[in-house]
Structure formats: structure tokens, C-alpha cells
Structure 1
Amino acid sequence: MESTRNVSLSLGLLVALGFSTNALADCAALGSAVNSTINMGSITVQRDLPVGAEISRKVIPAETTAITGACSTGTFRESGSVNQANYRSLDGTNTYASGINGVGLKLKVRGQYVPSSGYHWETNISTNGSIRYNPEIEVILVKTGDITSGPLALGPLISVAVNATNDAAVTYSLASGNVMQASCEITGSSRIPVAMGEAKMEDFKGKGSTLTPVNINIPLHCDSNAKVNISFAATSSKGDGIIDLTSGGAEGVGIQLKLRDTRVDFDHTLFVAQATEQGNFNIPLSAVYIQTADKIKPGDANAVANFTISYQ
């Protein structure tokens, strides 16, 4: 008896499942299909942006492409996939080639990433009538490697269809966009000598006194909008941006580094400025002799500091 009941229940369950599928609603768009263009604009990326980080995001609000469809009762189904003739999948999931080396493209529809297999979205229509079709679209650019500045690939990005007929209701196309990687380069030697000149003991007026600053020129050529940062590493027993002199020379003095008249903090990244145009860029650095002890011993006064330029 138990065996018979089990078979009967199983058959009943299979029958119930067989009749549980909802029929697709019969929908027809009221009006022509919509073509929507997306302009990403000109985007500047700092060279030190890590791989995987977001570069830019463009949101197409829902009502921008809203259309109305007349529907019967049933399940309203929406589907779409990225046009991989223009934007091939990079990893088989949801990152696509953008046409620029080092820049990937991701697409969201209704808050969900669109995988290479496409996406589907459904909702139930309980009575005959109309449905407002208005998904929100997001185009996201991400860094995938070293960037080569240039234009994005343009053309149809995704067509969104409704129901079983797969008639395109809205087609979204990239109409413009370019990405530029901002950076700087040292145009001369990375080893920069600074001639501090000769100093006389009588020119110092006591501990903490300084002499005339000497400007330091680091020859940089920068792209427009590059955000220039600098950090220094040096032996500094006194702190306050003071570099210890090499042993065997003068004592009781040091060399202090300043950025815009403010002493530098060693081993910390300091923001300099953002380049306003492409061309030569000056970092306002200076070095100055400073008395660090009550008594000074004359001799050679040499010191070394290493610097790192970054773009963040």
C-alpha cells in the first residue's frame, strides 16, 4: 500500500508541474522601436589606477527610453545580450572589449550585470492592458591592464527584446567616448644634483636658523589633467624634512627639503597639483641648509634623498 501511494503521489506531482508553466503574454509595442544613444564623453584615467577599478559610469535613466506595450494576460518577458560583434566577451562572463587596450566594458540592465549568455527578466500581467517598458541601463568602464589612450568602439551595444517574438523594443548604441591615460615622464636624468653652494659658519644664527633656499628642478613633462604626487625617502634623524649629512663631513647642520615652503614628511605621498595642460610641469621644491645643533663643525655637507613620482 505504501508503494502504491508513493507512485500515485509522484504521478500527481508530475502532472501538477506539467500544468504550472505560465503562458507568455501577447504584447505589441505601441509605436516604433526606440534607438537610444549613449555618449561616454572624454575620460582621463590616472596611470596608477589599479586593475579592476572603475574608470567611469554612465547611467541611462529608466524614463529615457520608456515605451508602452499593449498586452494580454500572462508572463511579460524581456531579454537581451551584448552585441559581441562589436564588444566581444573578455572573460566569458560580464566584461567586454571596449575597443581600447586596458579598458573593459560592463553593462547593467535593471541593476544586474549582463553576462555573455544574455539576460532575462520577467513579470506577470494579471489582466489585459498595457505595460510601461522602461529598464534602467548602466554602462561601466573598468581598467583591465595598461591603457592605450584612444576612442571607444562605437555602434550598437545591446538590443532588448520582449516576449517570444524577440522583436527589438530598444537598441542602445555607444555614440561617442574616448579614454586618455594621464601621466608624466622625467625628461632628463632621474639623478638630479642640487648645488647648495658654500656656506659660512657665521651665516648661521643659532639652532634652527636657515640660509637662502635653493630651488630644485625635476624636469617633468605631463599630460593634461595628470594628478602629480611625490614622496621622498631619506635618512633623517631629526625629522622635519631634514636630511642627515653623509658621515665624515660637516656636523651640526642638515639639509631641509620643502614643498611650497612647507617641510616635507619623508615616506609619505604628497599631492603636488593637477596639470592644467600638456607640457612641462614644475614641482615647487627647494632645499635649504639648517642648523641642527648648538655648535657647527665645518666640512663637506652632502646628503642624498630618493624621490618617487606617482599619479593618483
Structure 2
Amino acid sequence: MPFNAYISTTILILTLLLFTPTQASAAGWFNPMTSSITLPASITVPGNAEVGSVLWTSTPVVSQLQDRAVARETDTIWATVSNGELASGFTDVYQTDISGLGVKWWGKWKARNFSGGTTLPITDPSTNNAGPTGWQNSDSYPQTVWLELIKTGPIQKGTLSVKTTTTTKFNCSLGDCKNWDVTVLSTSTILAGPTCTVSTPVIPVSLGHVATTTFKGVGTTSTPRPFTITLSCSGGEPNTAISSYVTLTDAAHPENTSTILSLSSGSTASGLGIHILKEDVVLGYGPDSTTAGNTNQWKAGTITQGMSVFQIPLSARYVQVAPNVSPGSANGLATFTLSYQ
């Protein structure tokens, strides 16, 4: 039976305010005062997407906030989600009427005290306040809201409709405030995408015997040696596709976010590191995480339904990292984490 699910007439309203607890005349106005988010016609869920995975992120909507009366530096911008029931196991993801699919709202708030923007999840009641704005009369800053669809469990097969209404508000209890409402009114079909597993979980790569005279100075390299990460894929509904993303992690130094893999502790050579390349581009390292947008995460390619094997061609080489190179064994260990989005 085909896997088709629908998000129907999901209405989520966000209302934003500038609130002064001690002065009734203070007020914040937004332009526009209403915005809407449009869901895509369909969303493909990777067959092996983990619970907590972001399945889709909306295009942000923006409203300009300015004061219309007397503002104070202690005024705060805050947001809440109304009529939302938390998904089991989550503190900031709300249920939809599709089992296994939740909604997470985000806000990026800007003001004099945080002009670069402070990004926080929006909850009900929201405890994620950016703090005093430092607001001055005539200040004007853009505020941004978007949502993510999150996998919260096994996604139920069949055709579903969302019957409940989730509301997000920025209530203004004092002053002549004009709130900002953000709604979602469209529908989306949830499709099951292909499932992939790693065929080559351990990949030995020999860089060969390299003479120390190969290295003429910091940054010089040896000849790259190719290797491949291979995935086995199956399932998925017709015409579906998923994107495969990869993060490389330095096993010896997981905090490493550079483009140089450290030599492992058993190595006897010195003055060298290791590059891993994709199509002649040196790749960076990041935390072992499947989170979309993880540090130095890169796209390996698109996997379409019916594709049984997906290969990721890479190469590795030594790179000189110190003025002097001493001979010996030079080994490194990197792990790779796949994220299907």
C-alpha cells in the first residue's frame, strides 16, 4: 500500500509584542502584522531517518518591529505557542495529527542589545526570552520566525488530516501593542523515501611509502590515493529522492574543525597531517552528529528511488604541517556520519 499522509489546514499563529511591565503606554508595532508559511506539496521522509531528524525547514518570514510610544531599555520581546501539545520525549516540539511528525517553531529576535540576532525555540509558555532589548525611541529591527518539521517517532502510513489547531502568540497585556501573527494553512503529502545502509563501515586507505623529500615546506602534499564510501539502498515510493550528507570526525581529536586530520597516537612520524578530498576539494572535520547543518557537513549527492548502490568517491593524501618532517609511520583515523535529509 503506498505511503501517503497529508498535513491539512494546520494553523499555527505566532504573535509578537514589545512588553513593558511597568509602563502601560509602551507599545510595539509590527509591519506586517500577519504572515503565513507555505508547506511544500510533498515531503519525502528518508526510510532510516532518526527520531529528532529535521524533515523540512520552512522559508523564514520577517516583520519589522518598531515602538509607537515610549519604550524602555528593559522592554523584552517574547513569543509563545498556544494550544500545542508537546510530542512525547520533547520539550519544544509539538504534535501534529500525523503520528510521528511534530512541529518546532524558531524565532530570531533583534534589538539594540542583540543587533546580530538571538535565535531561540518558541515554546508554550515560552521561557526562551532574549532579555532586555535596550530599546530606544525610534528603534526598528526585523524579527524572524520559521518552523521545522521533526520526526518524533514511526510515521504512520495512510492518509491523515490535522484536526487540531496550534497557536503561537506574542500577547501584549499593556499598551497599544500590535501583535504579529504567523499562520500555516497549506497541505503537504508525506512520502516514504529510500532507506540506505553503509556497505563499507570500515575503509582502510593506504597512502603508500612516501619519501620525506616529497615535502618541500608547510602545505606541500603527497599524491592523493582514492577510496570510496559505498551505500546500499532500497525501498521508497516511486519518484522519491533523498539527499545524503556526510560529516567527517577526527577520532583522535573530535573537537577538530580544521581541514587536517591528526596523526593517531601510534604514529612515529612527525610534521604531517592528512587531507581527505572530494573532487579535489579538501574537506573539514566536525562533531559526530546527524543534525542538519552540522559543522563541516557536506552533501554527498541525491539518492533516487530504485537506486540500489550509491558511491561517494573520495581521496586522501599527506600534508606537511610543520617546518620539519621526520620519517616513520603516519596513520590517522576518521569516522564518517551520514545524515539523510
TM-score normalised according to structure 2 size: 0.43
Q: Which has a greater percent of helix?
A: 1
More relative contact order in 1 or in 2 (CA 8 Å, sep 6+)?
A: 2
